[in-house]
Amino acid sequence: MQIKQQVVISKRIIKFITILLIFIIQFLFLFAILNERIKHYAVPYIIVGMLILLLIVYKKFPLHHQEYSFDKKSLALWIPIAAIITYILNNQFSLGGVFSAGIVGTIGSFLTKLNLRSEYLKQLAGPIYCGAFIGMTSLEFKYVYFMIMTAGIITAILFFATKSLFVGVGGKLGTLAFVGVLLSMLLFKLIFG
> What is the pTM for the complete model shown?
0.74
> What's the whole-number mean pLDDT along residues 139-157?
91
User: Of residues 73 and 100, which shows the higher confidence score?
Assistant: 100
- CB proximity list for 162: less than 8 A, separation 6 or greater: 18, 22, 172, 176
Q: What is the mean pLDDT of residues 113-138?
A: 91
The 10s digit of each residue's pLDDT in 84-114 is 999 999 999 999 999 999 999 999 999 988 8
Among 86-100, 121-135, 170-184, the minimum mean pLDDT is found in 170-184
Distances (CA, A) of 94 to 87, 91, 133: 10, 5, 16
Q: What is the mean pLDDT of residues 129-139?
A: 93
Asked if pLDDT for residue 19 goes beyond 60, the answer is yes
